[in-house]
Every structure is written in C-alpha cells, then in structure tokens.
Amino acid sequence: MPLPALSLSLQFSQLADPAPHRAALARHKVVRCIRHALEADAEITVRIVDAEEGQALNRDYRGKDYATNVLTFDYATEPLVMADLVLCAPVVAREAKEQKRSLADHYAHLLVHGTLHAQGWDHETGEADAEAMEAREIQILAGLGVKNPYR
C-alpha cells in the first residue's frame, strides 16, 4: 500500500544555533517521518521555533506558560489532514541530551507524535488512549529504524 501524499512546508525561525537542527531535520527525513505516521493525504507545516516563540504559543493556545517540545494545531482530518506542527528547538535538544538519544531520533519521535495528534490520536484522554498512541508511535518508529523512545 503506498504512503499517503504530503504537501509540506518546513520553516525555521531565528535560532541561536540552527545548524544541528537543520541537519537533523533534512526535508527528506521530515517527509519520511510524517508520511509513515499519516493515514490520509495531508498538508502540514512544520515550524522549528526558539524558546520564546514556543512559550508564547503554548501559553496563548494551551494556557501553559512554558515552552514544550511539540505543539499540534489540527485544522481538518477529512478529506485531507491539515495541521501545523511546532517544535521548540531548545526543548527538543535538551530532552534528547537528557534521554541520551540523537537529536534526529528525538525529532523523528516528535514528528510522528505530532502527526498522530493531527489525526485525532490523544494520550491525555485516558490510560487506554495513551497506551494505544504509544504503541502506534513505537510501531511507526520501528519502521523508520528508530528505537523505542519509551524505554
């Protein structure tokens, strides 16, 4: 079965040190991660932001006054998945280091995670939903050659 089609916009805000993030997020890698997590054709924007923008978005849209790793803004799931994924570069880098994972693998996990959210998956609605979403992430990441991030 062919993978769903994806129209992707990949954006980088002004980052203090963009080189490692641009290397970890080569366009073909981003497309691969998202397409493997899609269940339908999609138009997705991925924006890599600094801590200030990440905190402002999280505060303004979720009422949480801190920068988080990934925010998903989902606009439609049918007939086309339409969403924005916002990844906060300093948070992702810090987490990757703390978890002893490569930056590229952590970005892959968060791209898959955000793409699942864009399609209605939610780990905050109950334990069964969280377990189902985690299992799906592990399965997708394995297909991408990325180790289980929950171990």
The model's pTM is: 0.96
105 vs 60: CA distance, rounded Å:
29
Which domains, and CATH codes, for the chain?
A: 6-143 (3.40.390.30)
pLDDT bucket at 13, cuts 50 / 70 / 90: very high
pLDDT score of 126 more than 90: no
- Give pLDDT, residue 138: 98
- 62 CB burial (10 A radius; 0-12, 13-18, 19+): exposed
pLDDT band, very low/low/confident/very high, at 151 (cuts 50, 70, 90): confident
> Among all chains, which residue has been given the structure tokens 């303004």?
60
Cα separation of 103 and 23, whole Å?
9
117 annotated ligand-binding residue: yes
Task: Tell the burial category of 134 from Cβ atoms under 10 Å away from its Cβ (0-12, 13-18, 19+).
Answer: middle
Please check the confidence at residue 148 and state whether its pLDDT lies above 90: yes
pLDDT of 122 > 90? The answer is: no
Residue 21 assigned ligand-binding role: no
Instruction: Judge whether residue 1 has pLDDT over 80.
Output: no
In which residue are the tokens 């799906």 written? 136
- For residue 125, what pLDDT band results from cuts at 50, 70 and 90? confident
User: HSE-up of 22 (CA within 13 Å, CB side)?
Assistant: 9
Percent of the chain residues past pLDDT 70, beyond the cut: 100
Examine residue 79 and say whether the peptide bond preceding it is cis (omega within 30 degrees of 0). yes
Residue 28 labeled ligand binder: no
Q: What per-residue confidence (pLDDT) applies to 95?
A: 98
